[in-house]
Amino acid sequence: MPTISVDQAVLRSYVEAGGHVHNLEELERRLPLLGTDVDRCTDEVLDIEIFPDRPDLLSAETLSRGIRSFIHDEAIITHLDAQPATTSMHVDPELAGIRPFVVCAIVRNVHLGSNDEERDASIRRLMDHQEKLHFAVGRGRRRSSIGVHDLDSIRPPFRAVAAPRDRAFVPLASTASMTIDEILEHHPKGTEYAHLLEGMDKVPLLLDANDAVISFPPIINGVQTTVTPTTTSMLVDVTGWDLVAVEACLQLVCLQLSSMGGVVEAVDVHGGAAEGRHPRTSPSHHRLTKERVRLLLGREFSSEDVQRAFRRLGGKVVDETEEAWTIAMPKWRTDLLHEVDLIEDLAIGHGYEDLGDVTPHAPANGTPRPDVHLRRRLRTVAIGLGLTEVQSLTLSNDEDQFERTRWTASSAITRITNPITVDHTILRQHLLPGLLRLLAANRHHDLPQGVFELGTVVRGHVNSTRFAMLVAEAGGGFAASRGRVQALMQALGAKHDELEMVALPDNEGPWLAGRAAKILVGGMWVGCFGELDPRVAHAFDLNVPLNGAEFDLDALDASLPDPV
């Protein structure tokens, strides 16, 4: 979640501009009710962790609007005021498969501050707001990316074109002209975001009437349009693949600049997937049914209650019937995807502490899991053997699960369609690889180290439960592992004449040849144990003797009836 660090004097100036005064105690007590988390609150700085579903709180200027409406119950407009358009942006049809949505706006008469220090601080807040929006709304600039430019350094009208990769210009933070390919290979922003344009023969460029490069989205602006402390008029452009994200980012940056005294002016976009006049200033309207509210919140709300609750969250009730309310909310509230989201806002605005008490209508008597006693006894015995319980990730990879441990997949492997990392590509079929990874991460600690896990594996796309233990100890071996297994099976109620240990074939799994066995109870297989092959340990960066075991919980449960 993004965190903003707000200068208290700056925040106070914007809150008091609405005719209200705040104090630290009130902010620290009430801001968490707005869906934020106050990390630090001093006389100078307020650090707030903002949930990404509230991008309208990611700057001091837009946060002040939320404070004035939520804490001081001020009615604020649910839309962004904009003057008629005086210029245009023409979008090349070729951009449809490169970066289809292009929108922009002009903001004039922006007051950055009364001295150099204040102006520099305002520019830093503007840039910080952009990066927070790139994270929370733009998903790393893919869905949307923002550019803010000194309007006086360029000449309208503007064009968005698909340019070849040999086109050159001077990028921001550089003094030399570079081609597109050079920027993507050598410029810090180019190397960071080059993957967004991978495989494209042409790239998007924004140009002015003199053919000067304004921006190369989603990578870098041109140096010519750099915002300076003397800038008073700005061009804001937003491009991307998601119209909702693009429009929200444009409106929120304009909202921030309008709080600095700026006057927003629309721009007519000709062509492209977002053709029309932007920013689109009208609010979004949502229908909220009274019956759904009663079912989820357990009480009736008067018209005054609903109006006040949504006013505190920056919205407004614009119509009411016997069945429902119609709520106007700002377009930048991109988190409002379903009626349930509106009900959550109603609960926050009204106050959770005043929703009343309700008795559950359905019985909710808890019943124990069928294997609860077996799980409890396994944990008790393992802890009694001096082992520490751990919980590793259910996600794993083929190399850990099969290649390094020499196991073969016993059934169909459940794979992740879009894995984030190469380490997390499948759902595990064994627990021991995760325990090996854990001991490898703790190899700098003294021996012995013993851990166990009771966790879920997925085989043939079906969940099942396994129990595994792993011990790293200098003097341990097969005898030590067998002793632990015998103690475990005896505690679970296995009779001596039912328990059988059969040697495992060589190179079957991670076990050392001749030093491992499978366990049978009444002729039924329940698990395997033994010493681990040093080659397997070395594959996990471990150079100590290891012994362990892994059991199937369903097999244990079937072969050892619960005495309780």
We report the CATH number of the domain holding residue 11 as 3.30.56.10
Pair (387, 349) in one structural domain: no
Pair (201, 318) in one structural domain: no
Higher pLDDT pick, 232 / 31: 232
Where would I find the beta strands (DSSP E) of 88-241?
88-91, 101-108, 144-150, 158-164, 168-169, 178-179, 202-207, 213-216, 220-221, 234-240
Pair (482, 530) in one structural domain: yes
Q: What is the average pLDDT value for the chain, to the nearest integer?
A: 89
- Whether the per-residue pLDDT at 436 is higher than 90: the answer is yes
Pair (141, 11) in one structural domain: no
Answer yes or no: is 367 within a domain: no
Answer yes or no: is 514 within a domain: yes
* pLDDT for the residue numbered 212: 94
Domain limits for position 496: 372-559
* 35 confidence band (pLDDT: 50, 70, 90): low
Q: What is the CATH number of the domain that holds 106?
A: 3.50.40.10
Answer yes or no: is 161 within a domain: yes
* pLDDT for the residue numbered 203: 95
Q: Which of 11-20, 89-98, 541-550 has the lowest mean pLDDT?
A: 11-20
Q: HSE-up of 460 (CA within 13 Å, CB side)?
A: 3
Which of 147, 163, 135 lies closest to 238 in space, CA to CA?
A: 147
* pLDDT for the residue numbered 245: 93
Answer yes or no: is 325 within a domain: yes
Which of 533, 500, 499 lies closest to 516 in space, CA to CA?
A: 533
Pair (318, 456) in one structural domain: no
φ, ψ of residue 21 to 5 degrees: the values are: -120, 135
What whole-number distance in Å separates Cα of residue 351 and Cα of residue 463? 41
Of 233, 262, 277, the one marking the end of a domain is 277
pLDDT in tens, 312-362: 888 999 999 999 999 999 988 888 889 999 999 999 888 887 787 767 677
Higher pLDDT pick, 397 / 42: 397
Answer yes or no: is 526 within a domain: yes
Answer yes or no: is 20 within a domain: yes
Summarize the confidence of residues 152-157 as an average pLDDT.
94
* pLDDT for the residue numbered 334: 86
Q: Is the peptide bond before 279 cis (omega within 30 degrees of 0)?
A: yes
* pLDDT for the residue numbered 563: 66
Pair (195, 216) in one structural domain: yes
Residue type present at position 283: P
* pLDDT for the residue numbered 124: 93
Pair (256, 113) in one structural domain: yes
Q: Which of 32-36, 465-469, 515-519 has the lowest mean pLDDT?
A: 32-36
What whole-number distance in Å separates Cα of residue 19 and Cα of residue 274? 38
Judged by DSSP in three states, 368 sits in: coil
Of 277, 302, 317, the one marking the end of a domain is 277
Q: How many domains does the chain have?
A: 4
Pair (184, 294) in one structural domain: no
Pair (530, 417) in one structural domain: yes
- Whether the per-residue pLDDT at 306 is higher than 90: the answer is yes
Q: Please give the structure tokens belonging to residue 468.
A: 């595994």
Answer yes or no: is 362 within a domain: no
- Whether the per-residue pLDDT at 309 is higher than 70: the answer is yes
What whole-number distance in Å separates Cα of residue 285 and Cα of residue 444? 59
Pair (109, 219) in one structural domain: yes
Of 277, 294, 309, the one marking the end of a domain is 277
- Whether the per-residue pLDDT at 40 is higher than 80: the answer is no
What whole-number distance in Å separates Cα of residue 213 and Cα of residue 236? 14
* pLDDT for the residue numbered 276: 95
Answer yes or no: is 83 within a domain: no
Q: What is the CATH number of the domain that holds 432?
A: 3.30.930.10
- Whether the per-residue pLDDT at 453 is higher than 80: the answer is yes
Pair (345, 394) in one structural domain: no
What whole-number distance in Å separates Cα of residue 535 and Cα of residue 548? 15
8 Å CB contact between 455 and 550:
no
Pair (235, 309) in one structural domain: no
* 31 confidence band (pLDDT: 50, 70, 90): confident
